C-alpha cells in the first residue's frame, strides 16, 4: 500500500453486524404473509384489492410527505407493513375509497407528521383504524362470514364479539373455528393459527420479545376468568391475537426495556377487558394499544435498565 493512497479514517467500531432496518421490515412482512394469506383465503380476492390499494397509497403518501419535508425517501418496507396491517384490521368488504383515506391518514398523520419512522408515538395502522371508526362509522358495519372462495360477495354476519352473535356449534367446534379462522371478523384477525406462525417467525429472528404477547394475552385471560367470562373465547375472538403479535410488539411505539414492555402489555390487557366489558365497543384491542402507546414515553422515562455497578446512595451519586 503506497502512502499516496488516501486511507479511510472511519471511527470505531469499524465492523458492523448484519442488522438493518430493511431486513427487520422484510422479516415482518414475511411473518405477515401468513395472516394475509388467511385473509384472502377466508374472505376472497377483494381483500387482495384492498391490500394493493393500501400498500400503494401508503408508499405514495410517504413519498410525497418526504418530498414535502425535503428528506430522502427510503424504500425500507415500513410503508408496506403499515398498508398490510391497516387492511388486516379493517372489515373485509370495506369500500376502497375508505381504504385509500385510511392508509393516507396512517402515513401522513400518524407517521410522517410525528417525524417519520422511529418518531411516531402511535401505531400507524391502528391510528388509521381509529380514525376511520370515528369518521366513517357507518361504513364499518358490514361484516361478512368467511366465503372460502375467491370471488363470492359474502353474507353479512355478526362477529364473535359482536352483539347478536349466535352459533349452533358446540364449544369445542367453536374454539376450533376461532383458532383456524372460520369466523367473521376483520380481514386478518380471525385465524389464531396463522397469526401464531407469524409470531414464531418474529420470535425466531429476535424481532419481538415473547414477554409482550404472553403478558398481553395472559392479562386478558386472567381478568376475563376473574370476571366470569370464558378466557379462551376472549383470547381467540376478536383482534387480540393480531394485536398481541404484530401491534403491541412494534418496537417504535412500545417501551425500550423489557420491564417497560411488560408494564405496557399488562396495561393494554387491562384496557381490552375494560373496554370490552364496560365500553360500548365490542372490541377493545385497537384502543388498548393506542392508549398504551401514549404512555410509552412516560414508561421509558422512569423504567430504565440498571447501570453496571449502580450505587444507590445519594452521596455517591452527588460525588460522581
Partner 1 sequence: MNTRVVELLGLKSPAGVHPPSQKLAAGHAIERAPLPKSVILPLQQHIGAPAKAIVKRGDEVKVGQKIAEADGFVSVPIHATISGTVKQLATVASPVTGQPVPGVIIESEGKNEWIELTPADSETLSKEDILTRIKEAGIVGMGGATFPTHVKLSPPPEKSIKSIILNGAECEPYITADDRLMLEETDRILTGLKIVMQVLSVKRAYIAIEENKPEAIARMRQGVAEGSLPGEVEVVAVPAKYPMGAEKTLVKSILKVEVPEGGLPMDVGTLIQNVATLAAVYDAVALGKPLVERVVTVTGLVGTPKNLLVRFGTAASSLIEQCGGADPSADEVIFGGPMMGIAQSRDDTPILKGTNCVLVKRSDIREEYSCIRCGRCIESCPMGLMPLQFVNLVKKEDYESLANYHIADCVECGACAYDCPANIPIVSYIKTGKAELRKAGVR
Phi, psi (5° rounding) for residue 302?
Answer: -105, -25
- Give the Cα separation of 87 and 182 in Å (integer): 18
Minimum CB separation of residue 203 from partner 1 in Å reads 10
Binding mask 126-155 for partner 1 (x = CB under 8 A): ------------------------------
- Give the Cα separation of 148 and 243 in Å (integer): 24
Binding mask 87-116 for partner 1 (x = CB under 8 A): ----------------------------xx
Residues 15-54, interacting with partner 1 (CB under 8 A): 15-17, 19-21, 23-24
- Give the Cα separation of 277 and 20 in Å (integer): 42
In the bound state with partner 1, the residue whose beta carbon lies nearer, of 30 and 226, is 30
Q: Which three cell numbers stand for residue 315?
A: 452521596
Q: In this chain, which stretch among 56-64, 174-182, 283-291, 312-320 interacts with partner 1, using CB under 8 A?
A: 312-320
Q: Based on the shown chain and the rule CB under 8 A, indicate whether residue 311 belongs to the binding site for partner 1.
A: yes
Q: Based on the shown chain and the rule CB under 8 A, indicate whether residue 282 belongs to the binding site for partner 1.
A: no
Q: Which three cell numbers stand for residue 12?
A: 470505531
Minimum CB separation of residue 12 from partner 1 in Å reads 5
Q: Roughly how many angstroms between the first and final C-alpha of the chain, as a whole number?
A: 47
Q: In this chain, which stretch among 59-67, 226-234, 264-272, 305-313 interacts with partner 1, using CB under 8 A?
A: 305-313
In the bound state with partner 1, the residue whose beta carbon lies nearer, of 47 and 201, is 201
Residues 70-89, interacting with partner 1 (CB under 8 A): 74
In the bound state with partner 1, the residue whose beta carbon lies nearer, of 25 and 174, is 25
Please check whether residue 32 is in contact with residue 84, taking contact to mean a CB–CB distance below 8 angstroms.
Answer: yes
Please check whether residue 134 is in contact with residue 290, taking contact to mean a CB–CB distance below 8 angstroms.
Answer: no
In the bound state with partner 1, the residue whose beta carbon lies nearer, of 3 and 141, is 3
Minimum CB separation of residue 2 from partner 1 in Å reads 8
Residues 227-256, interacting with partner 1 (CB under 8 A): 251-252, 256
What radius of gyration, in Å, describes the C-alpha atoms of the chain?
22
Q: Choose which of 69, 118, 135, 200 interacts with partner 1 (CB under 8 A).
A: 118
In the bound state with partner 1, the residue whose beta carbon lies nearer, of 138 and 309, is 309
Binding site for partner 1 (CB under 8 A): 1, 3, 5-17, 19-21, 23-24, 74, 115-119, 251-252, 256-257, 304-311, 316, 319-320
Amino acid at each position: 500500500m503506497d502512502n499516496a493512497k488516501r486511507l479511510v479514517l472511519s471511527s470505531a467500531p469499524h465492523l458492523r453486524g448484519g442488522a438493518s432496518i430493511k431486513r427487520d421490515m422484510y422479516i415482518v412482512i414475511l411473518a405477515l404473509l401468513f395472516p394475509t394469506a388467511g385473509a384472502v383465503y377466508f374472505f376472497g380476492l377483494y381483500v387482495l384489492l384492498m391490500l394493493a390499494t393500501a400498500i400503494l397509497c401508503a408508499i405514495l403518501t410517504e413519498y410525497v410527505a418526504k418530498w414535502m419535508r425535503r428528506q430522502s425517501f427510503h424504500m425500507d418496507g415500513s410503508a408496506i407493513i403499515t398498508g398490510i396491517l391497516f387492511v388486516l384490521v379493517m372489515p373485509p368488504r370495506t369500500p376502497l375509497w375508505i381504504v385509500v383515506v385510511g392508509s393516507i391518514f396512517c402515513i401522513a398523520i400518524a407517521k410522517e407528521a410525528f417525524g417519520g419512522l422511529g418518531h411516531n408515538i402511535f401505531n400507524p395502522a391502528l391510528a388509521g383504524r381509529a380514525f376511520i371508526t370515528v369518521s366513517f362509522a357507518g361504513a364499518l358495519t358490514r361484516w361478512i362470514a368467511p366465503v372460502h372462495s375467491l370471488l363470492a360477495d359474502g353474507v353479512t354476519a355478526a362477529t364473535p364479539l359482536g352483539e347478536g352473535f349466535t352459533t349452533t356449534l358446540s364449544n369445542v367446534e367453536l374454539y376450533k373455528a376461532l383458532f383456524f379462522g372460520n369466523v367473521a371478523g376483520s380481514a386478518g384477525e380471525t385465524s389464531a393459527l396463522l397469526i401464531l406462525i407469524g409470531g414464531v417467525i418474529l420470535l425466531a429472528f429476535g424481532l419481538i420479545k415473547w414477554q409482550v404477547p404472553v403478558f398481553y394475552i395472559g392479562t386478558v385471560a386472567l381478568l376475563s376468568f376473574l370476571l366470569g367470562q370464558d378466557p379462551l373465547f376472549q383470547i381467540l375472538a376478536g383482534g387480540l391475537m393480531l394485536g398481541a403479535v404484530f401491534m403491541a410488539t412494534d418496537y417504535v411505539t412500545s417501551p425500550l426495556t423489557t420491564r417497560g414492555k411488560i408494564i405496557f402489555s399488562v396495561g393494554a390487557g387491562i384496557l381490552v377487558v375494560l373496554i370490552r366489558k364496560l365500553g360500548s365497543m365490542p372490541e377493545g384491542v385497537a384502543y388498548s394499544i393506542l392508549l398504551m402507546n401514549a404512555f410509552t414515553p412516560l414508561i421509558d422515562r422512569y423504567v430504565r435498565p440498571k447501570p453496571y455497578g449502580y450505587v444507590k446512595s445519594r452521596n455517591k451519586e452527588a460525588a460522581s
